[in-house]
Amino acid sequence: MTVKEALQSAAEYLAKQRLRSPRQDADLLVASVLQRDRTFLYTYPEHQLSTAQKHLFQQWLIKRGEHYPLQYLRGKQEFYGREFSVRPGVFIPRPETELVLEAALGLLRGSTEEQLRAVDVGTGSGCIAITLACEEPRVVVTATDVSPIALKVARQNAEKHHCLDRLEFREGQTLNPVRDRLGYYHLVVSNPPYVSHEERSRVDDAVDKHEPREAVYAAESGQEIYKQLFSEGRKVLQAQGKLVVELGEGARQGICRLAQEKGWVLEDSRKDLAHIDRCAIFGRPSDEKP
Position 121 contacts ligand SAM (CB under 6 A): yes
By C-beta, is 70 or 146 nearer to ligand SAM?
Answer: 146
Q: Binding residue for ligand SAM (CB under 6 A) from 22, 122, 222, 241?
A: 122
By C-beta, is 173 or 269 nearer to ligand SAM?
Answer: 173
By C-beta, is 148 or 183 nearer to ligand SAM?
Answer: 148
Position 128 contacts ligand SAM (CB under 6 A): yes
Q: Binding residue for ligand SAM (CB under 6 A) from 32, 147, 157, 223?
A: 147
Q: Binding residue for ligand SAM (CB under 6 A) from 131, 142, 174, 196?
A: 174
Q: Alpha-carbon torsion 159, 163, 166, 170, what sign?
A: negative
Position 118 contacts ligand SAM (CB under 6 A): no
Tell me which residues in 215-234 interact with ligand SAM (CB under 6 A).
Answer: 215, 225
Least gap, CB of 29 to ligand SAM (angstroms): 22
Q: Binding residue for ligand SAM (CB under 6 A) from 71, 123, 142, 223?
A: 123
First to last CA, the chain: 69
Summarize as ranges the residues that interact with ligand SAM (CB under 6 A): 91, 93, 97, 121-125, 127-128, 144-147, 150, 173-174, 191-193, 212, 214-215, 225
